[in-house]
Chains A and B, each alone.
Chain A
Amino acid sequence: MATWIFYILGAVAVVATAMAVTRRNPVHSVIYLVNSFFALAMIFYLLGAPLVAAWEVIIYAGAIMVLFLFIIMMLELSPGEEADRQGPGALQWLPVLLLGAALLTCTLLLLQLDPAAGQAVPNWYASPRDFGYVLFHEYALAVEIVSFQLLFAAVGAFYVGRAASREKQPGGQQ
Chain B
Amino acid sequence: MIVPFQHLLILACILFLLGLMTVLVRRNLIMILIGVEIMLNAAGLVLVGASALWQQLDGQVMVIFLMALTSAEVSISLAMVVYLNRRKKTIDVRAFDELRG
Binding site for B on A (CB under 8 A): 2-3, 5-7, 10, 13-14, 17-18, 20-21, 26, 29-30, 33, 36-37, 40, 43-44, 46-49, 51-52, 55-56, 59-60, 63-64, 67-68, 71-72, 74-75, 77, 81-84, 88, 92-93, 96-97, 99-100, 103-104, 107-108, 111, 116-124, 126, 130-131, 134-135, 138-139, 142, 146, 149-150, 152-154, 156-157, 160-161, 163-164, 167-168
The answer to whether A135 and B61 touch across the interface, beta carbons within 8 angstroms, is: yes
- The binding surface of chain A is classed by DSSP as helix
The answer to whether A156 and B76 touch across the interface, beta carbons within 8 angstroms, is: yes
A164 surroundings in chain B (CB, below 8 A):
82-83, 86
The answer to whether B52 and A71 touch across the interface, beta carbons within 8 angstroms, is: no
B72 surroundings in chain A (CB, below 8 A):
149-150, 152-153
Q: How far is the CA of A99 from the CA of B17 in the complex (A)?
A: 9
Interface size on B, residues (CB 8 A): 71
Binding site for A on B (CB under 8 A): 1-11, 13-15, 17-22, 24-31, 33-35, 37-38, 41, 44-45, 48-49, 51-53, 55, 57-58, 60-61, 63-65, 67-76, 78-83, 85-86, 90-93
